[in-house]
Amino acid sequence: GIQVEQSPPDLILQEGANSTLRCNFSDSVNNLQWFHQNPWGQLINLFYIPSGTKQNGRLSATTVATERYSLLYISSSQTTDSGVYFCAVEPMGGNNRLAFGKGNQVVVIP
C-alpha cells in the first residue's frame, strides 16, 4: 500500500517561532489532508490540499503532487498549537479511504 512519511517526528518550539512539517508519500493521490489532534484526542481537519497552496490564519500548506510531498507551515506558534499533526492521503482509486502518516508531535512552550 501507499507509504506516508512525516518529518520531523518530534518538535519543540518556543512560543512565537515558525516551523515547517513535511509529508512525503510514495504514490499518486486523489486526496491529501492535514489534521491536528489536540491533547484530548480530537482530530480537527486543517486542510484539504491534494495540490497547490492554501492559507488559514497562521497556518498554511503546500502540496507538490508531482514530487509527492506536502508541507504544513505554522507561523508565530502558540501553546494551543501543541499536539500531533497528521498527514493523510487517499491513493488513486482509494474510495475515500485514508492512509495516515505517523504524525509530527509538536510542543510549544511559553
Partner 1 sequence: SAVISQKPSRDICQRGTSLTIQCQVDSQVTMMFWYRQQPGQSLTLIATANQGSEATYESGFVIDKFPISRPNLTFSTLTVSNMSPEDSSIYLCSATGGQGPLAFFGQGTRLTVV
**Site membership for partner 1, residue 26 (CB under 8 A):** no
Tell whether residue 61 is a contact of partner 1 (CB under 8 A).
no
From residue 76 to residue 105, what is the string marking binding to partner 1 with x (rule CB under 8 A)? ----------x-x-x----xxxxxxxxx--
Q: Which is nearer to partner 1, 76 or 80 (CB)?
A: 80
The answer to whether 79 and 109 have CB atoms below 8 angstroms apart is yes
**All three cell numbers of 30:** 486523489
Question: Can you tell me which of 30, 51, 78, 80 binds partner 1, judged by CB under 8 A?
Answer: 30
85, 106 Cβ separation under 8 angstroms: yes
Element (H, E) at 7: strand 4-7
Q: Which residues pair with 71 in a beta bridge?
A: 22, 62
| Min CB(103)–partner 1 separation in Å | 6
> Residue 28 interacts with partner 1 (CB under 8 A)?
no
Element (H, E) at 23: strand 19-25
- Is 16 or 44 the residue whose CB approaches partner 1 more closely? 44
> How far is it, in rounded angstroms, from Cα 23 to Cα 87?
6
Residues that bind partner 1 (CB under 8 A): 30-31, 33, 35, 40-43, 45, 48, 86, 88, 90, 95-103
